[in-house]
A and B are shown apart, each in its own frame.
Chain A
């Protein structure tokens, strides 16, 4: 199962890298979103999949699956949500002021 998931993560990372290398800001932001999806899955798989029951002491008995990666992923999800929200607003503010969402236009005037 882990090998399958890691292959999937590889595909997600490849897609995200391709998206982030594009010119349009929205594609780049989607790329960052896919990146964070991939890394959340990666942290979970690194902790080992399906070995142990739900980490709830009352509902299930030992051995429990590794709870630490789950806590890390939760923190990572919230942080990536905050950053994605920020860059979305930044993108649309840039479009409003600079007038284009194309990265090539946003290269800045050549400095002689």
Chain B
């Protein structure tokens, strides 16, 4: 597999720090989607770009060791999660894809709002991450 020969030193050092910032920003975007700009897609995309940056800066094998899961199944899990939240509402006899929300008193966060939409958004984010990384991986792995 031909590694991308770029002056690794700068990229590797920067990316080691930047990746974590991007990851946190992605998670923040995902969680804040409900009331402020953000949401499943954008969160997933940012997370995916963080992982791609990782692949860019180091070669495929090391990242494979650190992130052992096969991203196709991540995507599959994500889509399953999304569809099951919809399917779940059938079990309650409510029209398909109904989301509910309620306010709970959580110890740390105080009065927060838990909704099934976040599970749906999580599914979407996972799927987006899985798909983008699969595509990037399969193209770069193919190399030959």
Give the interface of A toward B (CB within 8 A): 56-59, 74, 78, 82, 85, 89, 92
Contact = CB atoms under 8 A, between A and B. Distances in A.
Contacts, number: 16
B135 A89 contact: yes
A59 B41 contact: no
A85 B139 CA distance: 10
Contact of B37 (A56, A78, A85, A89): A56
A56 B35 contact: yes
B135 A56 contact: no
Given A56-B36, A85-B135, 9 more contacts: A56-B35, A56-B37, A57-B35, A58-B35, A59-B36, A74-B41, A82-B131, A89-B135, A92-B139
Interface centre among A56, A74, A78, A92 (most CB of B within 10 A): A78
A58 B128 CA distance: 28
Interface of B: 35-37, 41, 128, 131, 135, 138-139
Contacts of A82: 131
- 3 tightest A-B contacts by CB? A85-B135, A58-B35, A78-B41
A85 B128 CA distance: 13
Contacts of A74: 41
Nearest to B131: A82
A82 to B, nearest CB: 7
Contacts of B36: 56, 58-59
A2 to B, nearest CB: 24
Contacts of A89: 135, 138-139
Contacts of B41: 74, 78
Contacts of B131: 82
A58 B38 CA distance: 14
A59 B37 CA distance: 10
Interface centre among B41, B128, B138 (most CB of A within 10 A): B41
A81 B35 CA distance: 26
A96 to B, nearest CB: 9
B103 to A, nearest CB: 16
A105 to B, nearest CB: 22
A89 B139 CA distance: 8
Contacts of A59: 36
Contacts of A92: 139
